């Protein structure tokens, strides 16, 4: 809904001002009549009440009867009746003889404009309550929706690329987790060598808890490796500190795939001990062997059409997001919906279009996008948008592999209850 203009109703600002003046005079006269009528009737009722009270208090029944009889015989009663009738007639004549307020022909258009203007301000008041920040878009709902869905596209682009990075990093992570103890120690030593350390592994059984010895810039450090999936507690860290003192090393490094407990990390604070879980150690690996990610660099666009409506999609890799729709008779509508039912109706229309892939190969998802006011706890509203994804066609071998990890072991380590290193970078 857009704001009405005076030009649409064929009136000028001066004419509308004149209409406002006419309207105020009418209202003023109406109030004056209401006030006069109220005071007149109030005076009449008061006079009648006083008159009746005096009659009741002063006159006895027989005296009152005689007076009424005389009034009827003399015609005084009818004179009183005619007097009251004359007063009422004079009052009506006064109203009719009041000078009329001139009314112009264009006042009807001015009245229509005013009603439309009131409806518009009622409409934008509702928009302000539902959509925080819409005032910045001059209350244009489609401009506001365009900004929001552009943010959604950008957010999904980042999320999809992050997912690609996570998958590739998880593959590297799984490779390290599969190593046996000796291989793990040897590869750790190779990484430190690549970082310009002189690194030497100890015997397979270790030497007093030392798996690798490091030298760099005249400093001697010891490394202990544990490729296990449980979190290391404080006693193991304390024991490594004692070993460091016996070795007369300047620093101790403890690498554990399963991470460390809070007590272990607290103990290592302000001490020459570095604790590295697998995620943290993989940062050192990525510095030497950076991965090349096959990211979605560009966002393309595609469209499908029904008999009279065109649907535009933003394409991010294998994911399509319904961006907008328009018909020959309507302007562009950006595809954000206030209810899930609205989104479902559009999905049903899409499924009837021949150009769309069959539902056996794609999935229609209704996703939620939250609007929040500033401050955030003042207002929160959900909008919905439609994503179309390719379904993953898994082979029998893939399904068996999935079933193998249904009952996967839970890692108790602190680091595995947090985001991976690639989520916090």
The series of mean pLDDT values per 10 residues for the chain, 425 residues long, is: 71 80 79 71 70 60 58 55 63 59 75 81 78 84 92 94 89 91 94 95 74 95 94 94 94 95 94 94 92 88 90 94 88 93 94 88 93 66 92 58 41 34 34
Q: Are residues 302 and 160 in the same domain?
A: yes
Q: Are residues 71 and 123 in the same domain?
A: yes
Smallest CA-to-CA distance from 372 within 124, 132, 130, 126 is with 132
Q: Are residues 80 and 146 in the same domain?
A: no
Tokens 């950076």, residue? 290
* Rounded Cα–Cα distance for residues 360 and 102 (Å): 73
* Rounded Cα–Cα distance for residues 390 and 386 (Å): 13
pLDDT for 168 equals 87
Q: List the domain range (segments joined by +) for residue 353.
A: 134-166+298-391
* Rounded Cα–Cα distance for residues 417 and 1 (Å): 49
* Rounded Cα–Cα distance for residues 4 and 6 (Å): 7
Q: The sheet that has 219-226: what strands, in order across it?
A: 198-201, 212-216, 219-226, 251-256, 273-277
Among 288, 314, 334, which residue terminates a domain? Answer: 288
Q: Between the CA atoms of 108, 113, 115 and 121, what dihedral angle is there, to the nearest 10 degrees?
A: -170
pLDDT for 380 equals 76
DSSP state of 101: P
Residue 222 contacts residue 255 (beta carbons within 8 Å): no
Residue 378 contacts residue 420 (beta carbons within 8 Å): no
pLDDT for 25 equals 79
Q: Would you say residue 406 lies in a domain? A: no
Q: Are residues 256 and 325 in the same domain?
A: no
Please name the residues in contact with 154: beta carbons below 8 A apart, sequence gap of 6 or more: none
Question: In the chain, what are the helix, strand and coil shares in percent, each to the nearest 5?
Answer: 55, 20, 30
Secondary structure (3-state) at 83 = helix
pLDDT for 409 equals 35
pTM exceeding the 0.85 threshold for the entire prediction:
no
Q: Are strands 309-316 and 300-305 parallel, antiparallel or unpaired?
A: antiparallel
Smallest CA-to-CA distance from 209 within 248, 236, 183 is with 236
Q: Would you say residue 26 lies in a domain? A: yes
pLDDT for 42 equals 67
* Rounded Cα–Cα distance for residues 5 and 116 (Å): 9
pLDDT for 2 equals 63
Secondary structure (3-state) at 403 = helix
**141-177 and 278-288 helices cross at what angle (nearest 10)?**
90
pLDDT for 417 equals 30
Terminal-residue alpha carbon distance, the chain: 45
Q: Are residues 200 and 104 in the same domain?
A: no
Smallest CA-to-CA distance from 367 within 395, 394, 388 is with 388
Tokens 């150690």, residue? 281
Please name the residues in contact with 122: beta carbons below 8 A apart, sequence gap of 6 or more: none
* Rounded Cα–Cα distance for residues 6 and 113 (Å): 7
Q: Are residues 368 and 273 in the same domain?
A: no
Q: Are residues 243 and 318 in the same domain?
A: no
Q: Would you say residue 421 lies in a domain? A: no
Q: Are residues 156 and 224 in the same domain?
A: no
Q: Would you say residue 173 lies in a domain? A: no
* Rounded Cα–Cα distance for residues 127 and 195 (Å): 59
* Rounded Cα–Cα distance for residues 381 and 374 (Å): 13
- Output the furthest CA–CA distance in the chain (Å, rounded): 144
pLDDT for 414 equals 34
For 417, list phi and psi in degrees, rounded to 5: -100, -5
Among 288, 314, 335, which residue terminates a domain? Answer: 288
Q: Would you say residue 174 lies in a domain? A: no
Residue 137 contacts residue 148 (beta carbons within 8 Å): no
Q: Are residues 10 and 122 in the same domain?
A: yes
Instruction: Tell me the β-bridge partners of 368.
Output: 384
Q: Would you say residue 261 lies in a domain? A: yes
Q: Would you say residue 92 lies in a domain? A: yes
What six digits make up the tokens of 81? Answer: 């009746």
Q: Are residues 11 and 114 in the same domain?
A: yes
Name the domain count of the chain. Answer: 3
Residue 264 contacts residue 232 (beta carbons within 8 Å): yes
**How many Cα neighbours within 13 Å face the side chain of 281?**
30
Q: Would you say residue 415 lies in a domain? A: no
Q: Are residues 308 and 277 in the same domain?
A: no
Q: Are residues 150 and 203 in the same domain?
A: no
């Amino acid at each position: 809904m857009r704001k009405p203009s005076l030009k649409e109703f064929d009136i000028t600002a001066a004419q509308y001002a004149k209409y406002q003046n006419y309207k105020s005079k009418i209202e003023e006269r109406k109030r004056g009549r209401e006030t006069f009528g109220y005071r007149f009737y109030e005076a009449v009722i008061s006079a009648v009440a006083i008159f009746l009270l005096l009659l009741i208090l002063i006159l006895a029944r027989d005296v009152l009867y005689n007076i009424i009889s005389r009034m009827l015989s003399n015609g005084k009663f009818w004179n009183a009746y005619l007097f009251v009738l004359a007063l009422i007639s004079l009052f009506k004549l006064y109203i009719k003889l009041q000078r009329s307020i001139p009314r112009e022909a264009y006042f009807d258009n001015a009245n229509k404009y005013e009603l439309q203007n009131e409806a518009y301000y009622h409409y934008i008041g509702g928009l302000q309550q539902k959509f925080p920040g819409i005032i910045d878009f001059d209350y244009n709902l489609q401009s506001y929706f365009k900004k929001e869905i552009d943010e959604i596209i950008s957010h999904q682009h980042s999320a999809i690329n992050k997912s690609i990075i996570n998958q590739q990093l998880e593959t590297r992570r799984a490779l390290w987790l599969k190593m046996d103890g000796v291989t793990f120690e040897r590869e750790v030593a190779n990484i430190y060598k690549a970082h310009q350390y002189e690194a030497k592994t100890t015997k397979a059984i270790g030497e007093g808890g030392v798996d690798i010895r490091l030298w760099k810039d005249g400093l001697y450090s010891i490394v202990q490796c544990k490729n296990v999936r449980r979190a290391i507690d404080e006693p193991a860290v304390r024991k490594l500190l004692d070993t460091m003192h016996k070795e007369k090393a300047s620093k101790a490094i403890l690498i554990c795939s399963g991470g460390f407990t809070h007590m272990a990390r607290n103990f290592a604070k302000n001490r020459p001990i570095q604790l590295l879980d697998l995620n943290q150690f993989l940062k050192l690996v990525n510095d030497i062997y950076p991965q090349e990610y096959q990211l979605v660099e560009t966002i393309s666009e595609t469209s499908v059409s029904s008999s009279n409506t065109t649907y535009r999609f933003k394409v991010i890799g294998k994911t399509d997001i319904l961006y907008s729709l328009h018909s020959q008779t309507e302007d562009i509508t950006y595809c954000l919906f206030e209810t899930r039912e609205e989104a479902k109706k559009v999905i049903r229309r899409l499924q009837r279009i021949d150009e769309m892939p069959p539902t056996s190969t794609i999935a229609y998802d209704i996703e939620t996008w939250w609007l929040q006011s500033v401050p955030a706890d003042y207002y929160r509203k959900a909008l919905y948008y439609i994503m179309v994804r390719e379904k993953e066609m898994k082979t029998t071998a893939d399904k068996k592999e999935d079933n193998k990890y249904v009952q996967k072991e839970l890692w108790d380590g602190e680091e595995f209850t947090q985001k991976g290193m690639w989520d916090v970078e």
